[in-house]
A = this chain, B = another copy of it.
Amino acid sequence: MTEPSDSTCSSPVLDLLRQLHESLASLDDGEVATYIPELSKADPSAFGICLVTANGTVYEVGDSAVPFTIQSVSKPFVYGLALEDNGRGPVLEKVGVEPTGDAFNSISLEVGTGRPRNPMINAGAIAAAGLIGGKGRVNRFKRVLEMLSLYAGRPLAMDSSVYRSEDETGHRNRAIGHMLRNYSILEGDPIEAVDLYFRQCSVSVTCRDLGIMAATLANRGVNPVTGRQAIRGEYVENVLSVMGSCGMYDYAGEWMYKVGMPAKSGVAGGVIAVLPGQVGIGVYSPRLDARGNSVRGIRVCDELSRHWDLHLLNRQAAGRSTIRRQFTGAELNSSRVRTAEELVALRTSGGSIRVFQLQGHLTFATTEVVVNEIMENFTRIEQLVLDLRRVQTLNESACRLFWHLVCKLGEAGKQTFFTHADRHPLLRRYFKAKLGRRCEELFRAYEDNDLALEACENRVLSDVLPGRRTDHRVRAAEFELCQGFEPEEIETFSACLVSRPFECGVSIISVGERAAELYFLTRGTVSVIVPTQSGTARRLATFSAGMCFGEMAMIDRAPRSATIVADSDVECEFLSLERFDHLRKTAPEICIKLLTNLSRSLSQKLRKANRELSVLD
């Protein structure tokens, strides 16, 4: 099993599992079950461990591929199917959820009603089998088998010789069936329910299957290896609850105390344990203790829990890391390139724009952290951007808190914008259910942060620079690059420029073209677009009238590195390289001023980029 040759690049997790396997392989307490002849044929030394993370990474050691029958480990899964078929209420009427403190084969029916105490004892499991929907016994077992196969991520089958053996010796279970029929807990033919129970117990699995099945419960019902849903998420907590309180029979209290993972064992030697949101564990070792639990199976769970800190109730405060980053509109700007005056205004007044980048799973506790942080800054915030790009899941509690938050901000005249909200359709549905057609009034969504930030900035700028002209025609003398020019230098320089209009949407410069001119934007706005790795186009910057682009033409004369698109109808004046080279000889002082201004502008952009880098890092 433990091949030294591959230990260099095997995972440390696998190494630790191998050590555990090795240290427990010598443990040979307990006896193989003999109550049905087929079970007694198992190899007593067989021993496999499989740990599967809720993300779907599978670690397996030892006899993880040896088949055996699932037996009582089937009980929680069939109970889950009964919940899906009937709903919580009707199932609770037929089977309780209280631990009994009794052994696995105890009949434990409630006095008066005859209701089995819980679905982990045989009586409760037979009652649950009686609740499986479908026409006829063949079809019902087919549904059970399909459900178990979804959990395992491969087609499972029944071991017929074990089934025959169960069927021949199962008189106690038939007695239970009749008793349940007597109390009307079972409604049709009790022997059909008992037969389904025998069949479900005889399904053949491996230790690897059990690990993946457990991880499916850890992953809220979605098999993390195949990505397919095996049970509706809302019922997983119920299945895990009965495993937690009743899964280990009369050992349940101590199990929760010491191991702290919902678990279930079977008489063929299988054990599953689940740490919700984290890992599923499957163990196979046929030697059983007096309670009918696999000796090594129990030890594996116990050691893993203690040494790897897997106790369910051992948790650190989870909320703080929900806010990946927050910044104001004074710290980071959109890609819209602003004038010096606008930049000063944003650095002074952009603090009222607050962007929160969120991450992870948004539940009550994690969303509360966000809401609390926002409420503490309530008076300082005028425009709020909530970026959901890195949010993995978002539940209804989170929607409810966001809804209240957005209303509260709205009442105070403050605006909220969501970005990347299309990844979480539940949020929009929640707002829509609250607001109907007026949804868009409060649910303002932008594709990405950059667009949301630009919109927020525009609002701040129109407040603090009310006289700002946004669509006037700029003359050459007003250009940043012409700063410090004498009147006669302006005249000489203007004479070198050629004017050209572009229609909205036209590419003024295309990536890869030969660079032949420097452009002065006299009217309208243009955007710098680069292709991204994912194949989509990304906006690098947007320039407005009074700014220059394509200036690298004068410097390195290399092909264009980006595409420039007209965002509106645009007018440009351009300086060709020939004209520039001519100026260089005839009026070098103009070139020196131009290059000095260019260097200043580049160095201001570099300082801004470095400032943004320090905010982002």
Chain A interfacial positions (CB closer than 8 Å to B): 8-13, 15-16, 53-55, 57, 96-101, 118, 218-220, 224, 233, 236-238, 240-242, 244-246, 250, 252-254, 256-257, 260, 262, 275-279, 307-321, 324, 359-361, 363-365, 368-369, 371-372, 375, 378-379, 390, 392-393, 395-397, 400-401, 404-405, 408, 411-412, 538, 540, 551-552, 554-556, 561, 584, 588-589, 591-592, 595-596, 598-600, 602-603, 605-607, 609-610, 612-614, 616-617
A18 → chain B closest CB, angstroms: 11
Complex interface: chain B residues within 8 A of A224 (CB): 317
Residues of chain B lying within 8 A (CB to CB) of residue A309 = 363-364, 395-397
Contacts of A589 in B (CB 8 A): 584, 588
Docked-complex contact A316 and B392, CB < 8 angstroms: yes
Least CB distance from A231 to B in Å reads 13
Q: Which of chain B's residues has its CB closest to A13's CB? A: B368
Q: What residue of chain B has the Cβ atom nearest to residue A592's Cβ?
A: B591
A53→B262 contact, CB < 8 A = no
Beyond the given A321-B390, A588-B588, could you list 4 further A-B residue pairs with CB under 8 A, ordered by the A residue number?
Answer: A15-B404, A53-B369, A218-B315, A321-B360
In the complex, A599→B390 CA distance in Å? 37
Q: Which one of A9, A411, A554 has the highest number of Cβ atoms from chain B below 10 Å of its Cβ?
A: A9
Q: Which residues of B contact A278 (CB under 8 A)?
A: 315, 317-319, 363-365
B98 touches A240 (CB 8 A): no
**A12-B371, A397-B309, A602-B606 as given contacts; A241 in contact with B256, CB under 8 Å:** yes
CB distance from A313 to the nearest CB of B (A): 4
Q: Determine the chain B residues whose CB is within 8 A of the CB of A408 once the complex forms.
A: 8-9, 12, 15
Q: Say yes or no: A392-B275 contact (C-beta < 8 A), given A97-B253, A245-B245, A365-B53.
A: no
Query: A592 contacts which of B100, B390, B411, B592 (Cβ < 8 Å)?
Result: B592
| C-alpha gap A43/B381 in the complex (Å) | 43
Contact B54 A318 (CB under 8 A): yes
Residues of B within 8 A of A605 (CB): 606
CA distance A537 to B409 in the complex (A): 39
Residues of B within 8 A of A324 (CB): 324
Q: How far is the CB of A387 from chain B (nearest CB, A)?
A: 10
